Amino acid sequence: MTKEKSVIALAEALIFDQALVKFQGAYVGAVAALSQLGDAPGLNYGEVFIRDNVPVMLYLLLKGKTEIVRHFLNTCLQLQSSQFQTRGIFPTSFVEQEGKLIADYGQRAIGRVVSVDATLWWPILAWMYVQRTGDQEWACSPTVQSGLQRFLELILHPQFREAPTLFVPDGAFMIDRPLDVWGAPLEIQVLLYGALLSSAGLMLHHFEGDQHLLKRCLDRARRLRHYLLKHYWVNRQTIQVLRRRPTEEYGDTITNEYNIQTEMIPHWLQDWLGADGGFLLGNIRTGRPDFRFFTLGNCLGAIFGVISPRQQRALFELVIHNQTALVGQMPMRICHPPLNDEEWRRKTGYDRKNLPWCYHNAGHWPSLSWYLVLAIQSYRKHYPDSILDPQILILLNQIYQLLLQQLPRQRWAEYFDGPNGTWIGQQARLNQTWTIVGFLLVHHFLKVCPDDANILDLPVLKDLERKFETNQNLT
């Protein structure tokens, strides 16, 4: 057996034989990490996290294990909160205790913050399952349709602002500790767009669904994409325009809506963007946009079609241009650049786990690699005649070789520290489930079946609107 085959076999054995857990005789998902000797009481890595199970469920679908995915979705649906304050949210995680599933809705998290991304991922996973299996009966079931309605009633609730973005505190998504990502962080907005499209697609399977709620869902998705392209997308040209806009404007026709001063635009962007690069910035807030590059939000922006094909090419050019920083010795860096010195002290609250170049403060997470691979392979599938820098495919194979050579030796660590991602993270878990399955997904999309890159294709907004209008005319 070659080394590659042996590593694949090892990774699959860890997932299928050890990570997946059962409740009442059926698999309900995978634990976040396999247990280690000396684990401190109270660590939650033995729980089933919705966020961590996204790549797991994706891989199970690719392997034809659809019943596990369906049962996972149903289990999450059973745990969807019905309490007044949290009605409609899905739990961050759940675990079996004394024969019952106990869910965490943020009551055990640092800062007691609910994981908003967990809630946003559920309809996306549900759409992915239905598209892969054709299980229309499940999509139209009263249980699923009621769950979608509760979700949308939560998400589409009126708020004290006109912007279509979703406002969240620090710690509400993968970056689960203070890192100055509060407000409208990119990852949440892109997931929101994906969740809205997925919900609409699933509701349109059910002709008798709430048409008013569906219309609001489609309107929100349209406004959100327009907003993200207007305020979040940056390249060399948009930065030039932004730097020259007037400030202290008032009224309805202003050009600098967020009163962004020239001094807030960092000089490192000149080299980072290069000649042809572009990306979605991390956050937009009055007077203080976050120009950091966040890998997951940008990859999902490409996968979900938030950014246009031309912008996707610019994003891939940016990755090539900055591959030393983003890939390093262990792909991929979660964000760049890190908060340093006084910024780190003031904005993270002296969080020792988020020291510069560590953990979520520009650490390297191998679990993020598959998102980039999927984004590029999806682009190649949908636009086969488009001109794409050949260097990007070379880079993908370099990423694969780095993961293949290092991850088994580094015992599938959760994250890596340092400017090059060379060191295992100081507090990183070993045998981390999404590290293991992330490698399997990279292998699948690169070496086994690149055509499967369509598995996360979302419904197209224009098609949803057209189908909605047809339904309205029929009634």
- Report whether 339 contacts 356 (CB < 8 A): yes
Q: Can you give the pLDDT at residue 41?
A: 59
User: Which three-class secondary structure state does DSSP give residue 234?
Assistant: strand
- Report CA 65 to chain centroid distance, whole Å: 23
Residue 335 forms beta bridges with which residues? Answer: 294
| Mean pLDDT of the region 268-274 | 96
Q: Tell me the pTM.
A: 0.97
Mean of all residue pLDDT scores within the chain: 94
Percent of the chain exceeding pLDDT 70 equals 98
**In angstroms, how far is the first alpha carbon of the chain from the final one?**
61
Question: 326 and 333 in contact (C-beta within 8 Å)?
Answer: yes
Question: Where do the H-state alpha helices sit in 204-251?
Answer: 211-231, 236-243
pLDDT of residue 470: 87
pLDDT reading at 40 higher than 70: no
Tally of domains within the chain: 1
Q: Evaluate if residue 85 carries a pLDDT over 90.
A: no
Q: How many residues does the chain have?
A: 475
- CATH code of 239's domain: 1.50.10.10
**Which residue range forms the structural domain that includes residue 311?**
3-474
Which amino acid makes up residue 467? K
Which of the four pLDDT bands, split at 50, 70 and 90, describes residue 112? confident
DSSP-derived letter for residue 18 is I
CA 135/CA 131 separation, integer angstroms = 8
Whether pLDDT at 36 is above 80:
no
Sign of the torsion angle spanned by Cα atoms 303, 305, 309, 310: negative
Amino acid at the residue 413: A
Q: Bigger pLDDT: 453 or 84?
A: 453
C-alpha distance from residue 21 to each of 17, 43, 385, 402, 434 (Å) = 9, 17, 44, 30, 15
pLDDT of the residue at 207: 65
143-146 LR contacts (CB < 8 Å, sep 24+): 143/74, 143/77, 144/77, 144/202, 145/202, 145/203, 145/206, 145/209
Query: Could you report the per-residue pLDDT of 54-71, keeping only the tens digit for each?
Result: 999 999 999 999 999 999
* pLDDT over 90 (residue 473): no
Angle at 95 between CA 90 and CA 101, to 5 degrees: 75
Q: Label residue 38 by pLDDT band (50, 70, 90).
A: low
pLDDT digits (tens, 9 = 90+) for 198-252: 999 999 987 666 889 999 999 999 999 999 999 999 999 999 999 999 999 888 8
